[in-house]
Amino acid sequence: MVNKYTGQKAHVFIDSGNSRVLTSGSTVAGTKYFVMDRSPNSNLPVPAGMMFQSPRTGTQITLTAGDRIYLIDEDRFCKTSASFELSEGAVDVGDDCHPASSIADGVTAFSGSLSGLFRYDPVTEEFENVTQDILNKFMTVVHDSGNGAYTVHEKDGSQAYILTQLNSGTTTGQFENWLFAPIVITSLSLSFGHTDPQSKDISFTLGHGSPVIYRVPAV
């Protein structure tokens, strides 16, 4: 007998890509990182372009000269629907000995879409972080304190990071299964129908790096 789940068990988290790059020191326990650069003598456990989670206990990983890692900050994207697609091209290698033959080109394409509702803080009525960060990918966000202080968040088109725990609700001793990818958010659609909830839909494609399935024991 095997477990089968609905899409509701897949919880999506997005890091908007704000700069938190580390080049020295050590990792922090139980934290997810994206490897931007890896030195030849690196202690990092995965190649550049992939993610890893630092040890939850024990000795942390010390960065060496030439290492660059990005600290991933997971903000929940409360989805109404999600769709991911992975594909790989084929190269025609047919000849008269093996007609109509193909081999994979080795290039994985990753794309998808997410839909969700606008979510507001019940006390301040501000957007939740992930909503503002997604809007900021396409337009400048200006924060006016009302008493003369203004903060301008210029449009930020940097890549983001998507993490999806496929089997949320795991308990100690079971494995969490994560799908991770660096992404570029390519479109944003907003809906404000009179009799519909306020909603947002985004589409994305693969950024600089690789999609990864990451398995780690739950605590």
88-101 confidence digits (pLDDT tens): 999 999 999 999 89
Six token digits for residue 154:
């210029």
| pLDDT for 128 | 87
The four Cα atoms 169, 173, 174, 179 give a dihedral, to 10 degrees, of: 90
Which pLDDT tens digit goes with each residue over 158-181? Answer: 999 999 999 999 999 899 999 999
Digit-coded pLDDT (tens) for 39-84: 999 999 999 999 999 999 999 999 999 999 999 999 999 999 999 9
Outline which parts of the chain fall under CATH 2.30.110.
Answer: 7-18+73-217
Between CA 181 and CA 161 the distance in angstroms is: 6
Tell me if 185 sits within 8 A of 14, measured CB to CB. Answer: no
Q: In this predicted structure, what is the pLDDT of residue 195?
A: 96
pLDDT of residue 88: 94
Q: What is the arithmetic mean of pLDDT over 20-42?
A: 96
Run of H or E residues at 107: strand 102-117
Secondary structure in 3-state letters for 115-139: EEECCECCCCCCECHHHHHHHHCCC
pTM above 0.85, yes or no: yes
CATH number of the domain at 7-18+73-217, please?
Answer: 2.30.110
pLDDT of residue 30: 95
- Measure the N-to-C terminal CA separation of the chain; round to a whole number of Å: 24
